[in-house]
Structure 1
Amino acid sequence: MQLTRRNLLIGAAGLAVAPRLSRRPGDPFSLGVASGDPTPDGVVLWTRLAPNPLAEDGHGGMSARDADVEWQLADDERFKSVVRSGTVTARRSWAHSVHVEAAGLQPGREYFYRFRMAGYVSPVGRTRTAPAPGTAPDLMFATVSCSNYEQGYFTGYRRLAEQQPDVVLHLGDYIYEYAPGGYKAADGMVVRPHTEGRCQTLTDYRRRHAQYKTDADLRALHALAPWIPVNDDHEVENNWAGSHPGTSGAPGFAERKAAGYRAYYEHMPLRRASMPRGTRIQLYRRLSWGSLATFHVLDTRQVRSDQPCDDGVRMDCDERLDSRRVLTGPEQRRWLASGLRSSGARWNVLAQQIFMAQHDYHLGPGKELLVDTWDGYAAERDRVLGDVAASGARNPVVLTGDIHAHYASDLLANFDDPDSRRVGVELVTTSITSDGDGYDDAAGRAVELAENPHIKYVDQRRGFVVCRLTTGELRADFHTMPYVSKRNAPSTIAASFTVPDGAHGLARSKAATPRQQQAAVAAGPR
């Protein structure tokens, strides 16, 4: 393959974070670096000091004292032109995590950053700021979701890094809270075990996050591009809702939620505005990419009503239709509606966690629905889609994770009427590893497509979605991998869809051939 600056960056990032690279004993930067939530003049820079990531006390082998950490931000990867620098205190009370809100930067620029402490230097990270208001340069962003450490290798993160996206949106289930073997994939395989015990305490969650960040492929993607992350349920526990615990049934849910949120903040490139306070964390927020796109990031866990009909896939569950049931809640709904009404962006992207389109699994009369999705909150979905339609916001696109399969759907004003108004589109990314290697259920897929004509594509394999935005169209490439139970799986584009500006609906595109895909990877940045 042709050696380009892009390939050098990918290789450098991989070498900088790979565990096989000999690093000095006591190196505190074993968990790598990350950046996130870019604005036109700034970005969050993150690291956590942890010379012994899986130390039993959850403090990563650090002493009981706070530690001062230097940071640098430069125009070049060799740091000959440092444009911002400073010193920040990594506090033991926050697991010696570092969140630098670098400001005063130029819009639409690529930057490089690193940290230093006690003679140690971190891996180099690459980030970028959002473009200036009123400008609309093309954007490549990607969505990922659901990475279960036990159920596969995180090769998808590496394959996505090779695409060199401008921004990565992680849509939840960054970690899984189960004890070793507590959640089996369909094939029953455990590729690599979790840290001992189910996550219940702050120490447990810290160690689990640290274990995930020992994965070199995850660290490589963090180091390559800024992230916009939001959690779903497994960052605390399976299927929790508002003040209701999930499937564990164990007492002390409020304490677990507070611990899960604190550890999540400690390990994500989030701004101080998202610093948790007890059982609450501010995660819904809005980020702009010039006049091209606005990302409306939603939180569908903290205020939701409990799942109806005892959760799961249910047939004819009338409780789900109750208008009093909420998912985003009135405060967040008002925030979203206001932001959509005032948006001047060409594309309005709603980044959220769970399947929004109606999804009937049953062939014939009656509906069999997964009530942990928006199907369990039908009135709330009607309200939100009504707000989207009434706002006049241009080109609504919903991004979704959670369900461990790829889907592409049109969003309708009335899902029981295939001819009703199309409100927007939904692009669902499959898991990185959750549920193992994946499968091909042709019969089940045929039922889903027959019963849900607004669903245009289903794929139960592992992978990620890469989207390219211009002023004229959105193109979504659904990448899949043949396996995750072994390392170094290849990825290919299994399907592609476009949404022309103003269309509010999906059009199937011809996927690139393997040769074309390889040529695109070798070509480097746009």
Structure 2
Amino acid sequence: MERHEHGIGRRRLLGLGGVSGAAILLGTGLYGVGRATDALAVGPYPFQLGVASGDPLPDSVVLWTRLAPEPLAEDGLGGMPQRAVAVRYEVARDERFRDVVRRGQAAATPELAHSVHVDVQGLQPGREYFYRFRAGRELSPVGRTKTAPAPGAATREMTFAFTSCQHFEEGYFSAYRHLLADDPDLVAHCGDYIYESPSGLAVQPRKHVVREPFDLREYRLRYAQYRTDADLAEAHRLLPWIFTYDDHEVDNNWAGDISEHYPTVGKEEFLRRRAAAFQAYYEHLPLRPDRAPHGPDIAIHRRFRYGDLATFHVLDGRQFRDPQLPCTDPMACPDRLAPARTLLGPEQEAWLKSGLRSSATRWDVLVQQVPFTQLDEAAGPGFQYGKDNWNYFPAARQRIVDELVARPDLNAIVIGGEIHRHLAADIKATWDDPAAPPVASEFVATSVASGGNGNAGSTWVTRILAENPHIKYAWEQRGYVRARISQQEWRTDLRVVPVVTTPSGDAVTGASFVVEAGKRGLQVV
């Protein structure tokens, strides 16, 4: 994994609140170990939010927990005292902890809502491990994780799954139960892990405890409530994850330092909200300690390599994005075509291009948030684009497409979410020419729960397939995506959970596609 920090001036940091600033010092979980106490008052079980692992490297993995005997306590502190508490951890080769390979101690501090992020190093590549935490006399559930294969190591195959968009009020997260049964080596979340906004659906099987979060207390409550979903908690306990975020972790349709409600909500007010949102995001996910936010800034773009098989380029499509444009008709939006418009920002775009140029794995995966493919949503002549995707950044998209054209040896797959529908598409150098050869393929994951049960008879699906010949499949129900990757091919199964308004929904495969290594373009299985 490559690490890139994004600095923030001291004056601006202090102006945005001391708690966010504390994350810089406390992100390792080691600050305050000397002043931490072993004592915990007798009371409710402190590991009610479970355990998790993430950001797997060949020699290390991040282990996470948060002490919260009362996860939904109104003050957002989970029922914990205002002092640091010592948390011990163990990592073993076996589930009964007879062969412990690493153990240590970290401080769970009130500044980080008593969350712990332990970067366990010195592990062996491509290996399964078990882990657990202890606080006072209490033991956490036993977690399972797996390190990545060594860079360049011959890696025959892996199973990979990805998800997006999980609105707590609109459905249960039963997709994770089925995903877990697939036993993937890695799970990626492509954004909208929480929803800041309340549901507008008539059927709401669950309710948020806070209507909409704006400050740190409220965001902590939102994340804690989501982490109480049993299927999500179990998938975190047993599988390593990587993450990027989209808009709803902060505010719907935000871009850079611009709120959805700008100019009613000014930039400084929005940055304060963004700082609180990023802090709670870090506190509740197994992110590496050097990813702790610096006020309203967080360094989330990074790479993970799995032997000689796959490189995962994790992108940030929000923090450096140019402002959205207030139109959906491209003929009325000439600014949409401006060559300098960017979704990733110049630095991240250069980082991505450099990574693609130097790639030495069979597959390159762009892990990002929103549909990359051209998406015409208007029936008949003319075009209509949703503004919250790459369609409003065509020059930036074309620069990445040109990079793929220049590297015909690359086997590139773009993944994302955001639109609450499954999509399978070929990426073209020339979108308007049906005969143009594909330069890569894209798979978009529908939502885990957002949108309720969805619409199997969607007219949107019919229209999209008619207007976009490079899109081979679309479906408007809930689910996740499973990929089985080998040196010879990438097979994607678009998994569908038709019912999420009850917690026992079954899963079926809606469609399957194969991309052969060295032969660009989707093939229906």
1:175-221 superposed Cα distances (whole Å, 9 cap, x missing partner): 0112xxx3313xx2111110123110001101100000111111001
Q: Which moved more, 1:24-33 or 1:273-282?
A: 24-33
The one-letter amino acid of 1:176's match is Y
Distance 1:192 1:102 in 2: 36
> Residue 131 in 1 paired to residue 131 in 2?
no
The 2-side partners of 1:177 and 1:122 are apart by: 29
> Mean Cα displacement is larger for which, 156-165 or 384-393?
384-393
> Does residue 131 of structure 2 align to residue 113 of structure 1?
yes
CA contact (8 A) 1:140 1:166 kept: yes
- Partners of 2:99 and 2:448 lie apart in 1 by 37
The answer as to whether partners of 2:71 and 2:79 remain within 8 angstroms in 1 is: yes
Among all aligned residue pairs of Structure 1 and Structure 2, give the percentage whose two residues are the same amino acid: 48
Structure 2 counterpart of 1:364? 380
**How far off its partner does 1:441 sit?**
3.2
Aligned to 1:232: 246
Structure 1 residue corresponding to 2:292, chosen from 264, 272, 275: 275
How far residue 42 of structure 1 moved from its aligned partner, in angstroms, is 0.9
Task: Tell whether the 8 Å contact from 1:235 to 1:260 is kept in structure 2 after alignment.
Answer: yes
The question of whether the paired residues in 1 share the 8 Å contact of 2:63 and 2:286 is answered with yes
Q: CA deviation at 1:162?
A: 1.4
Q: 1:420–1:316: structure 2 CA closer, same or farther, 3 Å change rule?
A: farther
Aligned partners of 1:130 and 1:42: how far apart in 2? 9
Map of 2:187 onto structure 1: 168
Structure 1 position 313, deviation (Å):
7.8
SS at match of 2:393: helix
Indicate how the Cα distance of structure 1 residues 486 and 202 shifts in structure 2: closer, same or farther if over 3 A, else same.
same
Residues 61-210 of structure 1: matches in 2 within 5 Å?
Answer: 61-133=79-151, 134-178=153-197, 182-185=198-201, 188-210=202-224
Alpha-carbon distance between aligned partners in 2 of 1:245 and 1:104, rounded to the nearest angstrom: 42
User: Structure 1 length as normaliser, TM-score?
Assistant: 0.89
Check conservation: 1:313, 1:371, Cα contact below 8 A: no
Q: 1:164 Cα deviation (Å)?
A: 1.1
Q: Which residue of 2 aligns with 1:344?
A: 360
| 1:32 and 2:78 matched | no
CA deviation after TM superposition for structure 1 residue 314, in Å: 7.0
- One-letter amino acid matched to 1:471: Q
Q: Does residue 212 in structure 1 map to residue 226 in structure 2? A: yes
**Are residues 61 and 315 of structure 1, via their aligned partners in 2, closer, same or farther at CA, if it must alter by over 3 Å?**
farther
CA distance in 1, matches of 2:494, 2:68: 35
- Rounded to whole Å, the distance in 1 between the matches of 2:239 and 2:70 is 26
Query: What is the CA–CA distance in structure 2 between the aligned matches of 1:124 and 1:313, rounded to whole Å?
Result: 53
Instruction: Give yes or no for the alignment of 1:290 onto 2:304.
Output: no
Distance 1:53 1:146 in 2: 22
Q: Classify 1:307/1:184 alpha carbon distance in 2 versus 1 (closer, same or farther; 3 Å).
A: same
The residue identity in structure 2 corresponding to 1:177 is E
Report deviation, 1:318.
3.1
Find the aligned partners of 2:58 and 2:245 in 1 and give their Cα distance: 24
Give the one of 419, 422, 426 matched to 2:435. Answer: 419
User: 1:392 deviation in Å?
Assistant: 4.8
Q: Secondary structure, in 3 states, of the residue corresponding to 1:385?
A: helix
The alpha-carbon deviation at position 420 of structure 1 amounts to: 2.1
- 3-state DSSP class of the match of 1:353? coil
Separation (CA, whole Å) in 1 of partners of 2:113 and 2:348: 30
Counterpart residue number, 1:461: 477
Match of 2:371 in 1: 355
The one-letter code sitting in structure 1 at the alignment partner of 2:256 is G
Kindly indicate whether the alpha-carbon contact (under 8 Å) linking 2:330 and 2:336 is maintained by their aligned counterparts in 1. Answer: no
Deviations 1:463-498 (A, max 9, x none): 000000000000000110121111210001111000
Q: Which moved more, 1:249-258 or 1:35-44?
A: 249-258
Query: In structure 1, what is the Cα distance between the partners aligned to 2:193 and 2:458?
Result: 29
Classify the secondary structure of the residue corresponding to 2:521. coil
Q: Which consecutive residues of structure 2, in runs of 5 or more, have no partner in the other structure? A: 1-41
Moved more, 25-34 or 121-130: 25-34
Q: Distance in 2 between matches of 1:313 and 1:430?
A: 25
Q: Mark the CA change 1:488 to 1:25 in structure 2 (over 3 Å): closer, same or farther.
A: farther
| Deviation of the 1:391 alpha carbon | 4.0
Aligned length, in residue pairs: 480
Separation in 2 of the partners of 1:355 and 1:317?
20
Q: What is the aligned partner in structure 2 of residue 524 from structure 1?
A: none
Q: Aligned to 1:319, what secondary structure does the other structure show?
A: helix
Equivalent-residue separation in structure 2 for 1:457 and 1:224 (angstroms): 31
Quick one: distance in 2 between partners of 1:26 and 1:396? 48
Matched AA of 1:367: F
Q: Which residue of 2 aligns with 1:436?
A: 452
Change in Cα spacing, 1:417 to 1:50, as seen in structure 2 (3 Å) is same
CA contact (8 A) 2:329 2:383 kept: no
Q: Of the candidates 334, 337, 342, which is equivalent to residue 321 of structure 1? A: 337
1-side partners of 2:450 and 2:97: how far apart?
A: 38
Amino acid in structure 2 at the alignment position of 1:408? A
SS across alignment from 1:204: helix
CA separation of 1:274/1:391 partners in 2, compared to 1, >3 Å: closer, same or farther? Answer: farther
Per the alignment, in what secondary structure is the counterpart of residue 258 of structure 1?
Answer: helix
SS where residue 368 of structure 1 aligns? coil
What is the aligned-residue RMSD (CA, Å)?
A: 1.5
* DSSP-derived class of the 2:65 partner: strand
* Aligned counterpart, 1:245: 259
Secondary structure in structure 2 of the residue aligned to 1:340: helix
Question: Is the 1:341–1:392 Cα contact (8 Å) retained in structure 2?
Answer: no
Alignment match, 2:317:
300
TM-score, scaled to structure 2: 0.89
Give, in angstroms, the shift of residue 443 of structure 1. 3.5
**Aligned-residue offset at 1:419:** 1.9
1:8 is aligned to none
- Structure 1 segment 6-45 matched on structure 2, within 5 A: 25-45=43-63
Secondary structure of the residue that 1:504 maps to in structure 2? strand
Deviates more, 1:193-202 or 1:313-322: 313-322
**Residue 247 of structure 1, CA deviation:** 4.3
Deviates more, 1:403-412 or 1:86-95: 86-95
C-alpha distance in 2 between matches for 1:456 and 1:263: 38
Alpha-carbon deviations, 1:60-116, whole Å to 9, x = none? 111000111000111111111111110011111111111011111111100011100
Structure 2 SS opposite 1:113: strand
On the 8 A contact 1:361/1:447 being kept in 2, the answer is: yes
